[in-house]
C-alpha cells in the first residue's frame, strides 16, 4: 500500500484544478483509511470465528480481497492529459 499511495494520489488529483487538489487528496486518504478499517475488521472477525478454521478462513478472505483489488486495478484506464492554452503556448 505504501508504494501505491503516491500513484493513487496522483491519479485522483490529476484532473482537478490546483485549488481542488488538496480536497481530492483528502478524499483519497479518507477512503484509504475507511478501507483499511473495514479490511482489518473483516480479518479479525474471520479469525475470531473460531477454532482452527478461523485462521484459514482469514487467509482466504485476504486472497479474495487481493484478487478483487487486482481486477479493479487492471480495469483502471489512463485518462487523456488535460491541456490548456496560456498565451500562445500550449501547456500540458
- The model's pLDDT over 44-53, given as tens digits with 9 standing for 90+, comes to 887 777 666 7
61 or 37, greater pLDDT: 37
pLDDT value of residue 50: 65
pLDDT value of residue 16: 83
Residue 33 corresponds to which cell in the numbers above?
Answer: 483509511
The ranges assigned to domains in the chain are 5-91
Q: What is the DSSP letter of 50?
A: -
Amino acid at each position: 500500500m505504501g508504494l501505491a499511495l503516491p500513484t493513487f494520489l496522483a491519479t485522483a488529483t490529476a484532473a482537478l484544478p490546483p485549488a481542488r487538489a488538496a480536497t481530492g487528496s483528502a478524499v483519497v486518504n479518507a477512503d484509504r483509511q475507511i478501507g483499511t478499517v473495514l479490511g482489518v475488521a473483516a480479518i479479525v472477525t474471520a479469525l475470531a470465528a473460531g477454532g482452527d478454521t478461523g485462521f484459514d478462513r482469514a487467509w482466504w478472505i485476504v486472497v479474495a480481497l487481493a484478487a478483487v483489488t487486482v481486477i479493479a486495478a487492471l480495469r483502471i484506464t489512463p485518462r487523456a492529459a488535460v491541456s490548456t492554452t496560456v498565451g500562445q503556448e500550449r501547456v500540458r
